[in-house]
A and B are shown apart, each in its own frame.
Chain A
Amino acid sequence: MSQDPALLRRLLRAKDRMDGASHEAWPVARLARVSGVSEAHFARSFKEAFGVPPHRYLLTRRIERATALLRDTDLPITEIAFETGWNSLGTFGRTFRDITGESPQALRAREKAAPHQPEPVPGCYLSAAHRPGLTIAVSEKRRQGDDARKDGSTETEVP
């Protein structure tokens, strides 16, 4: 389906704004304002343009950033959770595990154990290369995951 390049350029601006401040709240109304379109039009067009709904895109950016902070810093996990935009440590931990398949603690332990050579890739691109793919909703991913984990969470994925 063809989309108007002028509209796409404005949608890109909203995506850029999420990239630049993924820790902030990005309700559709705010994003739609950045792009200068109606909320309904925004949500539909964004997904068509970028393959995922805007809130899910935001989640992948937050997890990408949290992963980098877990790997590259010694910040406490609570601080990383708040710094990457979650209001509760529990939601962060659960969402992180649902998306990446391991807990923040486990990822940190694994990354710290692995030897790291400085890689000749600009950091920002390297980080993007490790962005989690989130082609299905987190709730769906959670359902498909560990059945033994009966947390019965009905939270939506909007952080």
Chain B
Amino acid sequence: MSQGVGVVGLYVRDQDEALQFYVEKLGFRVHTDARNGDYRWLTVQHPEQPSFQLGLFLPQPPTLDAATAQTVREIVAKGAMPPLVLMVDDCRAAYARMRARGVEFTQEPMDRYGAVDAGFRDPSGNGWKMIEGRG
């Protein structure tokens, strides 16, 4: 595929911590990890989704001014960033696996509306729903 959404970024409080979380706990792979001075362009990828990258970006100057960066850090930590959804084949199995790796779940798997979903957060506060596809 040559057209479509290529990268969507999250703001994280610490890129090393986020990298470890998304790779070691969620099973993503590093796509790009490029540094330029203080700036670090870091993206990860779901192993089954090669055309999409999830960016893990730090709210920091000079991209953002210092005051705005602080505001963004607060918003992320309050869990006020928009919803994220991770689709899985088996929500309960993924829950058990991720929980064993220390993922902070906010909601255990629940069967509702004909599907199973669970909720978790990354260390920064970004909230994910994990939803089992309906086949």
Contact = CB atoms under 8 A, between A and B. Distances in A.
B79 A16 contact: yes
A9 B124 contact: yes
Contacts of B117: 122-124
Given A5-B13, A5-B73, A5-B74, A124 B124 contact: no
Interface stretch (B33-41, B47-55, B91-99, B106-114): B106-114
A12 B126 CA distance: 11
Contact of A20 (B77, B106, B125, B129): B106
A62 interface: no
Q: Is the interface of B mostly helix, strand, loop or mixed?
A: mixed
Given A5-B13, A12-B79, 11 more contacts: A2-B74, A3-B74, A5-B70, A5-B73, A5-B74, A13-B104, A19-B106, A19-B107, A123-B113, A124-B117, A124-B119
Interface of A: 2-3, 5-6, 8-9, 11-13, 15-16, 19-20, 49-50, 122-125
